[in-house]
Structure 1
């Protein structure tokens, strides 16, 4: 919003930047972030460098923040209440009704996420996150035309491509087959969600000669991840629970990218593609692959100590341990480990994972996170190191669409923080 010159009549009703920041309980730069988002108006001080703010507007915004629970530091990204955003302390917070993380637990729409994942299928948990309704027996169906287009696109790629590449290409291909992709109404977006996820799984090349394209999503995905074509029920249940546990996890980096895309009114396929572009980082979706390789090394050597020593000697953090949102135990890891204990062939990998945690705890008391639990699943199931990334991406697609759907109901382009310029002050001479 462009600054305007104040008139003498209302000068006494205006606040300085410092006064506005104190009233709002935020830093001065956050006051200007409110201005950039149109939540406050400002006026340039005559003959000075600062701005002034309407006292009534500031007081109204402060009351609104208190009512919504955002306080001075911005609401927790997992908080409830009306939607909105704040930027303070250098961090962006977005109010959402989807996921709450607190006290080493997490909840989907107020319901314990672990309970949901261990008692319901991935599809049912996805529907709950999207609609707030539990639909027992939910299944997702991929249109044949979408699958054909996505498979042709994936089959044209080199063999060495990463899972995120396969899924991103399949997403773009499916988008080209959907002339209604620009319809951002709730029913249309939900329809896209229910067809895109099975399309992505169907587009993945099978590990053997069997390609399963019907039944629960976990059963279909298994044939794309493991050479064991006849898995036991406990293994399929563990994979299904892993998908459900990973559906959403607040504003992770990929989810924030999705919300930014949705804020610009990108269609759901493009929003999902934005998320897929972020998960390849070793600190996000690809982290389970690092834990998979670590676990394999421990199994080969029969002892975690030398493997951990090599990691630390190389200056690397030990993968699969600790999570900044859980001071205690990652509830996703705890739930998945419990299911893996029912699978006899997973016992060696479980013992190796326990050895990793106990060896590291001699120096730093870190708990296992979901990446290490995923690694136990993928190693014991004969899957590749990239299988965990595939599981993560397929699972999180449901959460990304839930966040996109929520963002479509907000003011367009609100996800636009202001940069704090730190370069040389203009005017600078033209470069030679």
Structure 2
């Protein structure tokens, strides 16, 4: 494999458009057409005589179809990138997967069914994922070779690499091949994690198998319902940092395992997937001390933000957290952690209008059922793998290497003397 895009059909004899014609077809100004070129969304050829540029008519029409509306100005170089996507919409304090309320999907369907919906837009009732035996064995061997202190994300990254090495067809980027890889990879990630409790479930929903990797406590139906809903709700959340990394990898035509590896690398940051661990420690301390008030006060006194609160995309409570809190109310063991979570919100609300986000809800589950602090991160990573695959499928349908922002150079101007 090389880092060059696949050759495109030779269209040198096809009709070409002037800059003005391309601008009219796209419904934008001429300057915007050149901005599309600088962003890699259009290619141009200098016109005969060196004055102006010409554009492939079919390429311009394809961009117009993808746009679907007039775009008065693309993001400036070095600014925010905007991708059109049919996967997730966050609007009016709600989250929608392919136009369907994500919270309703999570209440009615399991994680695998929601993942299939995200990938294909078609219902697949009773969907179950299974790991290929050889792939799972290789992933387990690789994970078992890690030091005992390795975190869950360390294990997942290694498992992805091992799974990729066993798949000689990983470079097939057709939708069918990518989905087949995904349906085997996700249960491989779960199956490669060490078992903490009794025997893991086999052949049932993924949440049941994951449970034994998160806690030694036995599973019960209400708790599994919370975990399954958490997996379904976390499957995607628009262009979060890890998803952007996954799309960049897919734009370079990296195979799906590499796309997931890119997402995992970003997910481990404390401001992304690892944020739930901070909320876990906060809630654990609040339960142990019998009150959240002194714990919140300690955070504020030392200048630390209170984890598990606030989300830049929601003005009120994170709708995903609302669902998990409702389901946790049916888990007897969660009563104490739920009360502590409510007290965290109420205490902080005296000074700032912050609401619970999904990290606090994940912490209520992990604290109440004897899970480690990184359990929420594990749930996040396993779930979001399906979302990264969904975005990869979209990106594979776009022009290769289109995600190329321009750097705004701030160093010394050349020429400089040789050091």
Q: What TM-score bracket applies, with the shorter chain setting the length?
A: 0.7 to 0.9
Question: Structure 1 pair 130/88, CA: closer, same or farther in 2 (3 Å)?
Answer: same
2:285 to 292, 297, 300: 297
In 2, Cα distance between the equivalents of 1:66 and 1:410? 10
1:151–1:204 contact (8 Å) kept in structure 2: yes
Shift of 1:214: 2.6
Contact 1:139 1:216 in 2 (8 A): yes
Asked if residue 284 in structure 1 is aligned to residue 275 in structure 2, the reply is no
Aligned-partner SS, 1:106: strand
Deviations 1:39-96 (A, max 9, x none): 264979xxxxxx9777999xx79x949952473465xxxxxxxxxxx55681111111
Within 5 Å, give how 1:73-92 maps onto structure 2: 90-92=79-81
Equivalence map 1:313-332=2 (5 Å): 313-332=301-320
* Larger relative contact order, structure 1 or 2 (CA cutoff 8 Å, min sep 6): 2
Structure 2: gaps of 5 or more residues: 1-17
Equivalent in 178, 181, 184 of residue 170 of structure 2: 181
Q: In 2 relative to 1, CA 421–24 (structure 1 residues): closer, same or farther, beyond 3 Å?
A: farther
With over 3 angstroms needed to count, the CA separation of the structure-2 counterparts of 1:379 and 1:70, relative to structure 1, is farther
Which residue does 1:39 correspond to in 2? 42
For residues 83-114 of structure 1, what are the alpha-carbon distances to aligned partners after superposition, in whole Å with 9 as ceiling and x for unaligned?
Answer: xxx55681111111100100000111111111
Alignment TM-score, normalising by the size of structure 2:
0.87
The TM-score normalised by the length of structure 1 is 0.85
Question: Counterparts of 2:33 and 2:351 in 1: how far apart (Å)?
Answer: 40
Which residue does the alignment assign to 2:257?
269
Q: Which residue of 2 aligns with 1:425?
A: 413
1:299-323 CA distances to partner (integer Å, 9 max, x unpaired)? 1122222211211222221110000
Q: Deviations over 1:168-206 (max 9, x none)?
A: 100000111111111111110010011000111000000
160-169 vs 239-248, which moves further? 160-169
Structure 1 unpaired stretches of 5+: 1-12, 45-50, 75-85
Runs of 4+ displaced beyond 4 Å: 23-26, 28-33, 40-44, 51-57, 86-89
Post-superposition CA distance 1:123-142 (Å, at most 9, x none): 00000001111111100111
Q: CA deviation at 1:35?
A: 2.4
1:204 is aligned to 193
Whole-Å Cα distance in 2 between the matches of residues 31 and 227 of structure 1? Answer: 59
Determine helix, strand or coil for the equivalent of 2:167.
coil
Q: State whether structure 2 residue 109 is matched by structure 1 residue 120.
A: yes
SS in 1 for 2:196: coil
2:384 and 2:66 mapped to 1: Cα distance?
32
Q: Is the Cα contact below 8 Å between 2:226 and 2:328 reproduced in 1?
A: yes
What root-mean-square deviation, in Å, do the aligned CA atoms of Structure 1 and Structure 2 show? Answer: 2.7
Separation of aligned partners in 1, 2:92 and 2:277: 28
Deviation at 1:297, TM superposition (A): 1.0
Counterparts of residues 56-75 of structure 1 (less than 5 Å):
64=64, 68-69=68-69, 71-72=71-72
2:134 aligns to what? Answer: 145
Size of the alignment, in residue pairs?
393
The structure 2 residue matched to 1:337, chosen from 325, 328, 343, is 325
Distance 1:14 1:131, change over 3 A: closer
Range that drifts further, 245-254 or 303-312: 303-312
SS in 2 for 1:93: coil
The whole-number CA distance in structure 1 between the counterparts of 2:159 and 2:225 is 26
Choose which of 368, 377, 388 in structure 1 pairs with 2:376: 388
Query: In the alignment, what sits opposite 1:3?
Result: none
Is residue 33–residue 418 contact of structure 1 (8 Å, CA) maintained in 2?
no
Q: Deviations over 1:214-235 (max 9, x none)?
A: 3110000000001112x21110
Aligned-residue offset at 1:160: 1.1
* CA–CA distance in structure 2, aligned partners of residues 202 and 14 of structure 1: 55
CA–CA distance in 2 between the matches of 1:68 and 1:423? 39
- Counterpart of 2:152 in structure 1 is 163
